[in-house]
Structure formats: structure tokens, C-alpha cells
Amino acid sequence: MDYIDDTIAAICSPIGQGAIAIIRISGSRAFSIVSSVFVGKDLSTIKSHSLTLGHIVSEGKLIDQVLVSIFRNPKSYTGEDVIELQCHGSVFIQKSILTVLIKAGCRHANPGEFSYRAFLNNKIDLVQAESVADLIASSTEAQQISALSNLSGQLTHSLKDVKNKLLHVSSMLQLELDFAEEDVVFADRTEFDKLISSLLHQTNQLLNSFQIGSIIRNGFKVAIIGAPNAGKSTLLNALLNRKRAIVSDIPGTTRDTIEEEVSINGLLVHFIDTAGLRQNSNDIIENIGIERSIEQVRIAQLNLFVYDASQYSFNEAQQHLETFGINSEKVFFVANKIDKVLPMNTLETKDKNTDSKLISISAQFNEGIEELKQAIFQTAIGSNIDFEKPMITNVRHFDALCLFKDALSQTQDSMNNGLPTDLLSFELKQALIHLGSITGDITNDQQLDYIFSKFCIGK
């Protein structure tokens, strides 16, 4: 995406009819273009960050009454002059106003172009720009909190702190190179070694946060598996609290996978109901369904192996799982239909031998469902999650941080092996490049295009 000094416009409210819609204009000609189609107060006299009411007209024809928000550069989202028009939310009106603006000299904004300009004008760094996209895409509280924390600069501050400390050492190494003939040491090697060790520790903590961070950002995948008629679809419906999947006492009711999302304590969980696992079925379609179930087991981060506790013991359930070659490592055994065998109480135990979890429920009578949800949440992110601490949620950041860590370790090794200053300086600069690529201090156009093209239009 090239930065061209033209003025861009886009509808930034959702597509479709609503009470109002918002059209955003940004660029050096924002005021002159809007003024040419606006009837009301002289926009050039209106204070920044204020509103004025007027009309949009085109060739003498009234298009709509609009409320105009004014943001003068540099105090705007993009850092440029920005005007936002609130018009009535008819799709026809929105499109008409956008067309009028384009005719008057604006260009249609590309996806993410407002945020791209904000990044180029140093209003936000790359981590913050990406968190804007995450915030817009967030559908649960955990996603919203973590995206907001990155937007407010939590991660950026932590990375800047690391960067500044290393920049200081880097400049000391540079001084040594500048005064090479005098053989002086500006960067005390013992101190430098200590600093690197502490920064590596800090980096490892950030890298470790990715395991949970990526679950928060992308959700947690849970497959519901088990024999036909075990009550898998009944369980899906109980988890969703609505009758989503067909339930019947005919074995083999579910043939295809059914995926639905549920928020558990603010965490996005994708549940996948699958076809019942049985061997030697003659039904071709059912066999395809079973293959898909096994595939889901592979993809899922957790499997709920549901069995009919009124017919089978826990041991038998474990054997059944084994016959399908499924490893019990990421499996919860869910003993269903306990209404048939026990008075209505639930039990959650850990199997002594396998460390697998056993949870008893009655999917039909909604018993044990909340306990099951809490057990899933615990497995996904545990109980000690601290949103105040910076967290890595984005795989791009994770990859760059891994490269940074490797480069920094390499610098430490080189220093401890007594390698010359010019090599240390070079290696440290490499480490800083990887660090800088996260916040966007160092970027290439392809990377920027990739990041911003995933934004929606109008942001």
C-alpha cells in the first residue's frame, strides 16, 4: 500500500441499514472537499473536536441532513485532517454521500488505510494497529480485554523497555569501534552479560504467554466424540442452551460435524459435535462421518469422550477410545446419562492411572454441564491469568520474538567466547531488527500490505 497524499473516504459503520451511518474522510483536502458539498456553517471556522449540523448537497439536490465531526491534524486518528459525517442510515443515502464525496475529489479508502496512515504518522505502532483489528473482530470478553491491553500499549511498553536497554549497549559497542585504536571498553562485558540474561528471562516470559494468548485470541477447540447414541448432540445442545443438533435414539443420527461457539467465562470455545464412532459400519456416508470425527480429534485442543454410563464402565470407555487409536492425553471422559444410574449429583474425578479427567453429567437434564464448562476453562487457560501483564496473542509477534531471542542468545555466546566488538555489534543489531519488526520500527512494504489488507474498509 503506497502512501499517496490524497484524501480518502469510506463508510465505516456496518454495511446495511441502521439508524445512522458514519462516513469517514481523511487527508489534506478533507475540509475543502467536504465544504464543497456541505451547506451549513463554514467548516474552516469550526473548532477541532466539535460537531456541526448541516446538509449534503449535490448539483443543487439535497441528499441528507448530517452531523459533522471535525478533527484537525495532528490530533486525529490518522494524524491528518479527519471529518466524519453521521448521516441517516439508509443504504441508499450512505452510498449517495460516498459517491458525492468521490466526485468531489476523494478516493475510496482501501481496507485498513485509515489505520495504515495512523501508523505512518506515528499515531500508533504496528502492535497497536493489529490490536485495532483484533478489537473489531473480538467476540468475547477475553479477546476484547487482551486486544484493548495491546492497543493501550501494554506490550509496546514492554518491548520498548527491552529495546532501549539494548540500544544503549549497542551505542557503547559502537563507541568502542569508533575508538578502536585506543583499545577502550565502553560496554562493560560483565554488566552486558547480566543484562542479556535478564532480558532473555523477560523474553521467555513473553514467549510463554503465547500459549494462553493464542487461545484467547483464536478460541479453544473442543471436539465431542464417542459411540453412537452416547448423547453427544444432546450435550452440544446443553452447552449451547438451545436445540441446535438433531437428537434421536437412532444410532448414527449425526453424520456430519456441527461446529458452534460458546463463551465460557469470556473465553471463546468452539465445540464440534461429531458422528458417533463405531467400527464395521456398512453405511458409506456414516463411515465418511467417522473419518471426519477422527480428523476433528486431531485438530481439537481437547476431546470430550462421551459415553453412556448406564451401559458402560469407565474402563470400557477407555478401551473403546483405544480401539479407535485415540490417545487419551487430551481427553475428558464424560460419563453421560447419570440420571439413569445415580441420584442427581455430579462427580468430577481424576483417573489414578491415566491422569484423564472423568466428569459425570446428564446432558438431557442439564446436570453437571456448568462443572464441565468450568473444567474446560481451567484446562484452556487455568485460573491465574493476569490481563495486566503484557501478553503475546499474535503469531507474527511470537515468531519475531523467537528470532530476537535466538539472536540475543547468540550475542551472549559470542561475548562469552571473547569474540571481537564488531561481531558483537553486528549480532546485537540483528537482534534489534527482529525486535523492531514487531512494533514496526523496521518493516517492509510486503509485510505492511499483508497486515493492513486484513482490516475492514473504513478502519
Ligand X SMILES: Nc1nc2c(ncn2[C@@H]2O[C@H](COP(=O)(O)OP(=O)(O)OP(=O)(O)O)[C@@H](O)[C@H]2O)c(=O)[nH]1
Which of 112, 153, 231, 440: binder of ligand X (CB under 6 A)? 231
Query: Hey, is 387 helix, strand or coil?
Result: coil
Cell of 11: 463508510
- Chain center to CA of 338: 38
What is the residue type of 448?
L
Contact flag: residue 254 with Mg ion (CB under 5 A): yes
Cα separation of 73 and 31, whole Å? 11
Tell me the window of 37-45, 73-81, 86-94, 358-366 that interacts with ligand X (CB under 6 A).
358-366
User: Which CB atom, from 364 or from 443, has the smaller least distance to ligand X?
Assistant: 364
Cα separation of 213 and 394, whole Å? 8
Q: What, of ligand X, Mg ion, none, does residue 7 touch, CB below 5 to 8 Å by kind?
A: none
Nearest to 443 by CA among 408, 406, 409, 396: 396
Least spacing, CB of residue 237 vs ligand X, in Å: 8
Least spacing, CB of residue 458 vs ligand X, in Å: 43
Residue nearest to ligand X (CB): 276
Contact flag: residue 289 with ligand X (CB under 6 A): no
The site string for Mg ion over 210-249 (x = CB under 5 A, - otherwise) reads: ----------------------xx----------------
Q: What, of Mg ion, ligand X, none, does residue 364 touch, CB below 5 to 8 Å by kind?
A: ligand X
User: Which CB atom, from 38 or from 307, has the smaller least distance to ligand X?
Assistant: 307
What is the residue type of 149?
S
- Chain center to CA of 318: 36
Least spacing, CB of residue 151 vs Mg ion, in Å: 41
Least spacing, CB of residue 232 vs Mg ion, in Å: 5
Question: What is the DSSP pairing of strand 61-71 with strand 82-88?
Answer: antiparallel
The site string for ligand X over 360-379 (x = CB under 6 A, - otherwise) reads: --xxx---------------
- Chain center to CA of 412: 33
DSSP-assigned states of every residue in 215-234: HHHH-EEEEEEESTTSSHHH
Q: Which residues contact 269 (CB under 8 A, 6 or more apart)?
A: 219, 220, 221, 222, 261, 262, 263, 376, 377, 380
User: Which CB atom, from 196 or from 321, has the smaller least distance to Mg ion?
Assistant: 321
CB 248 within 8 A of CB 341: no
Which of 303, 336, 356, 412: binder of ligand X (CB under 6 A)? 336
Tell me the window of 146-154, 156-164, 356-364, 386-394 that interacts with ligand X (CB under 6 A).
356-364
User: Which CB atom, from 99 or from 248, has the smaller least distance to ligand X?
Assistant: 248
Enter the DSSP assignment of 22.
Answer: E
Contact flag: residue 257 with Mg ion (CB under 5 A): no
Nearest to 34 by CA among 77, 3, 63: 63
The site string for ligand X over 269-288 (x = CB under 6 A, - otherwise) reads: ------xx------------
Q: What, of ligand X, Mg ion, none, does residue 48 touch, CB below 5 to 8 Å by kind?
A: none
Reported residue count of the chain is 459
Interface size with Mg ion, residues (CB under 5 A): 4
Which of 128, 229, 303, 425: binder of ligand X (CB under 6 A)? 229
CA 432, 435, 440, 442 torsion: positive or negative?
positive
Contact flag: residue 170 with Mg ion (CB under 5 A): no
Q: Which residues contact 79 (CB under 8 A, 6 or more apart)?
A: 73, 117, 118, 120, 121, 122, 123
Which of 232, 320, 357, 397: binder of ligand X (CB under 6 A)? 232
Least spacing, CB of residue 306 vs Mg ion, in Å: 10
Q: What, of ligand X, Mg ion, none, does residue 248 touch, CB below 5 to 8 Å by kind?
A: ligand X
Cα separation of 175 and 202, whole Å? 27
Q: How many CB atoms lie within 10 A of CB 184?
A: 10
CA distances from 382 to 100, 385, 455 (A): 54, 7, 31
Q: Which residues contact 420 (CB under 8 A, 6 or more apart)?
A: none
Least spacing, CB of residue 268 vs ligand X, in Å: 23
φ/ψ of 51, rounded to 5, equals -120, 150
User: Which CB atom, from 256 or from 261, has the smaller least distance to ligand X?
Assistant: 256
- Chain center to CA of 237: 27
Helix axes 369-381 and 232-240, enclosed angle (nearest 10): 80
User: Which CB atom, from 132 or from 361, has the smaller least distance to ligand X?
Assistant: 361
Contact flag: residue 253 with Mg ion (CB under 5 A): yes
Which residues here bind ligand X, judged by CB under 6 A? 226, 228-234, 247-249, 251-254, 275-276, 336-337, 339-340, 362-364
Which residues here bind Mg ion, judged by CB under 5 A? 232-233, 253-254
